[in-house]
Structure 1
């Protein structure tokens, strides 16, 4: 029996391929994960029984083994996934090619998706939730498992393809798509011995006995195989649970129809809340903006230098920003400045678990130009968070600041979420022993009005700690 690890270093320039069942979602995020390790362990179906399960390929949490729990995964939270907030353990059966070569996934791309979220919003993943998908005893097509040759015609549920070289001519690429159930019973975190999760219907509605709707995980397992020129999918074998034969624990292998996946949730609590409540339930694709942790604005308002210069706006749902740098200058022209104050989300205490991860602080606000169609810039000017109260501050008693920005946002007239990098300034505040940061928002040069949603609006300004590392899809 031969063994090959499909190294990411071998190839460049390949493409991500989305399972066909994953294409109809109206909200999603993606997580890319490298292969981590291979072990005959299964913490869901054979917990605390090392070496007794089928051979599995693990991605995500590097500590995953037969003893893994949600607590242990977060305690040892190093991950091969691009988003450091995702320390989930994902595992799939090991694959054997027709010539007997054992290959591991080159990468796995997980699409977190939801349909019809306005009518059926999703709930954050509960800590420690376990999910199973596919059938390790399968003998034929499964509606929740699909196969793809990268040179073929898309995903199919049948294993009747011959994979040739993909378009670049550099390798065969074969993908397995596994779709996890998205309706939870609200009671059982463990999957073993329970029917804790089922699939929603085509409208995204959950049945009465599994009423809690979750984001649906579509796992896309990609094998990039430069060592072969073609692959008969029907002859692929996947690992099965071993049996004792003549006194020896003997590995067994089944057809590609035994494809399945395991999921043990270990996203940070903030990340799962943000994914559901601040991203997908808004019908958004949040890209690389799911935070490790975040802090909602604790105070926000605006001040105006016009006839309302002694008025407080601490409870308004919409903040205003207006500025004019033209003659005779901004101090003589109409000027409205928004104010925001945040507690700083702490960096991970186990930062050594995240080699290669770049952590950055960003502020997310919902805003846009309401004057015309022009694209403009606004700026974030730091001020002392202890020098103002949102319920009493006016233009006449506003705190001091300098027109030196920590960050800026370039925007058009579309009202949407936008992000500003304030990492350097927030880290300087942490180094100085501060626990809060505060900003004026202003600086539009030509007198246009910018609206910014406040915490009273439902689209709350947020200071996010985002951690990502690069995962290559060869």
Structure 2
């Protein structure tokens, strides 16, 4: 087999969303190409080099033996989000002259629709999904093709791709939409038995009742050294004929396009994507955490009601004034929060990870933006009994600053340095007072019990290769 790399790189500017109209919440991840094998861990598990040539993205150790435990144990990934050690693979692409080209990368959009009526469930550990038809001979509504210089995505082959806008390469994308309704029983499909199907207007059919995020995988080929690509003449790999250990290769048209997905998201990352994000109608973007913890205690205390307990606060309140006599002379209200610290993953570069607090709310007054502060506090307090008079000590040397206006929205607060210091001291919990506006303004935030929640998140990101 002639295998020559024309060009393999991550195109920094152009990977367009697929044909499928989408108006609901979504997340996304970009994964560089990693390796090519004649393996398929789903339909030909345990049979190395007996499947068609597949190009693999994401988990760098994917092979014919891969499972969810192996993906988690050997979790190094080419994806930009370290929470995603999933395995993604698709058949190899061959040009008219017989040159087999490596893809540059794939970008997957995790999407949802009608979550108000039909909410999502997280991907279960070990879920495997298939999409497309390697026996296909005609357009498939779930498979799309794109010439980056052309007219957008289409289900039909035959367009001739020219140079993309930068005139540096031909870029061709294949979009594959996976089923989003799982049967709730079988983690993997088998020959003659599907474990998942597609929803109908956001609702799953009765035999596949568990709605999961829609995996829309977009594979990008960035080809230098050519000026055009006739999509009617490009081919994709098919299963070989095996003569002992020798392979006789077969190739089919682009209508045989398909792909495989083996879930390797951390369990907390998969749960966040659905429960803390998409089901709340929020676009997650790339901000899916490796792990997180919901505030295990949150309450406000005020010098104006020094003996009052507020263990079931409906809103976290902040008010402060360091003018006209200072904070010891004026009313002061601060919110006290406590989190269990999500553990850093073992065997991975800790510098790629960062701790952040996600908090929802804003300033009450519409007089511009101001700062509030996250002051370190001891963990020796109970929300049922803490009052202003019986509050833990507060250091007014802040761990973090949040600059915000009166818009009520999610805010991300970098607390990485403080959390790592707590971990180094052997602590498993961390507490803060939120306060210190110093201008006499008021702030309101939703508590952990609200649908917006209050989280300490551990995120992990790395740069994927760029041109």
Q: TM-score, normalised by structure 2?
A: 0.96
Cα displacement string for residues 114-154 of structure 1 (whole angstroms, at most 9, x for unaligned residues) = 01111111110001001000001111100000000000010
Match status 1:350 vs 2:347:
yes
Change (3 A) 1:455 1:244: closer
Residues of 1 paired with 2:139 and 2:243: CA distance? Answer: 30
User: Does the 8 Å CA contact 1:16/1:473 hold for their aligned counterparts?
Assistant: no
What residue number does 1:132 align with? Answer: 130
Residues of 2 paired with 1:453 and 1:419: CA distance? Answer: 14
Q: 1:225 aligns with which of 223, 226, 234?
A: 223
User: Does the 8 Å CA contact 1:243/1:249 hold for their aligned counterparts?
Assistant: yes
Q: TM-score, normalised by structure 1?
A: 0.95
Q: Which runs of 5+ in 1 are unaligned?
A: none
Q: 1:43 aligns with which of 41, 44, 53?
A: 41
What residue number does 1:320 align with? Answer: 317
Cα displacement string for residues 5-41 of structure 1 (whole angstroms, at most 9, x for unaligned residues) = 63327xx6532211111x4131001100000110000
Match status 1:412 vs 2:405:
yes
Aligned to 2:423, the other structure's residue is in SS state: helix
What residue number does 2:447 align with? Answer: 454
Residues of 1 paired with 2:261 and 2:33: CA distance? Answer: 15
Change (3 A) 1:246 1:469: closer
| Superposed counterparts of 1:65-214, under 5 Å | 65-193=63-191, 194-201=193-200, 203-214=201-212
Change (3 A) 1:260 1:423: same
What residue number does 2:326 align with? Answer: 329
Q: 2:373 aligns with which of 367, 374, 379?
A: 379
Q: CA deviation at 1:273?
A: 0.6
Residues of 1 paired with 2:425 and 2:3: CA distance? Answer: 56
Change (3 A) 1:183 1:462: same
Residues of 1 paired with 2:5 and 2:354: CA distance? Answer: 36
What residue number does 1:369 align with? Answer: 363
User: Does the 8 Å CA contact 2:6/2:224 hold for their aligned counterparts?
Assistant: no
Residues of 2 paired with 1:183 and 1:223: CA distance? Answer: 29
User: Does the 8 Å CA contact 1:316/1:456 hold for their aligned counterparts?
Assistant: no
Residues of 2 paired with 1:225 and 1:64: CA distance? Answer: 25
Q: CA deviation at 1:318?
A: 1.0
Change (3 A) 1:103 1:256: same
Q: CA deviation at 1:2?
A: 4.2
> After alignment, is 282-291 or 179-188 more displaced?
282-291
> After alignment, is 388-397 or 124-133 more displaced?
388-397
Residues of 1 paired with 2:40 and 2:3: CA distance? Answer: 24
Cα displacement string for residues 315-351 of structure 1 (whole angstroms, at most 9, x for unaligned residues) = 1121101112222212212211000001111111222
Q: How many positions carry a matched residue from both structures? A: 465
User: Does the 8 Å CA contact 1:305/1:335 hold for their aligned counterparts?
Assistant: yes
What residue number does 2:284 align with? Answer: 286
Q: CA deviation at 1:211?
A: 1.1
Q: Which runs of 5+ in 2 are unaligned?
A: none
What residue number does 2:8 align with? Answer: 7
